[in-house]
A = this chain, B = another copy of it.
Amino acid sequence: MLSNDEECGMTTIKGGYPGGYPGQGQGGYPGGQQGGYGYPGQQPQPGYGAPGGYPPPSGYAPPPASVPGVSPETQRLFTMVDRDRSGKISSDELKTALVNGNGENFSDVACKLMIGMFNRDKTGMVDIHEFEKLYNYINQWLNIFKTYDRDSSGHIDESELTQALGQMGFRFSPNFIKFLVTKCDARSHKNVSVDQFIVLCIQIQRFTEAFRMRDSQQTGTITINFEDFLTVALDCST
């Protein structure tokens, strides 16, 4: 099951991230108001490539019907996660299958955000083809997270988050990184779990894309009116 370390959870995912981030090392806004902080020259986006590679799940799921163009591994996983046998996977079903480093299921926000990225008909559920893409997508994020979670604690801290975002081409100020960590860990201000990391990266990507579209001169500063500001803020937020 995706959620279980003993079976194929976070600590046993095989395979590396295929190709690295496209925006890596491109710098950002040298002329920006924040003394060189800024976003990368190209939008970081994990590609939908080869899966990171969950090992085959344990065998309690019934053999799924063969779906043309979908790997047997995806079919097995889909059948396991699709608990109500509806042929679609909901956010709640996905949540049940995913566990972060605290032993907690992924947050509702993370699952809804990811389902929302792949369900084309806006039903809030993914079919098997959409699930295959989603599964690859999650694997890629897990691999990235593992790269920076060097002690395999299931969390990354301020320094590791700085490195992870830096690898994506973002050069943020220490205060901004502190703000991100505090947003994720309101109590102790220390740790970011994998599902929080995924939500954070997706949100940053979306807001960066929206900002970049309005920053035609790439100055790192935009002028924006109230309604456009609200549209961006609400459209990109969860």
Residues of A within 8 A of B (CB): 29, 32-34, 37-39, 108-109, 112, 122-123, 172-173, 176, 179-180, 183, 186-187, 200, 203-204, 207-208, 211, 215, 220-227, 229-238
Contacts and interface: CB of A to CB of B under 8 A. Distances in A.
A179 B32 contact: no
Contacts of A225: 32-34, 220-221
- Interface centre among A29, A123, A223, A229, by most chain B C-beta atoms within 10 angstroms, is A229
A123 B185 CA distance: 10
B221 A226 contact: yes
Specify how many copies of this chain sit in the oligomer: 2
B180 A234 contact: yes
Contacts of A108: 108-109, 112
A226 B183 contact: no
Contact of A226 (B32, B112, B236): B32
Nearest to A229: B211
Contacts of A223: 221-224
A203 B234 contact: yes
A109 B113 CA distance: 12
Nearest to A187: B122
B236 A237 contact: yes
A226 B179 contact: no
Nearest to A223: B223
A117 to B, nearest CB: 13
15 contacts: A38-B226, A108-B108, A108-B112, A109-B238, A122-B186, A203-B237, A204-B234, A211-B230, A220-B226, A221-B225, A223-B223, A232-B233, A233-B237, A236-B237, A238-B238
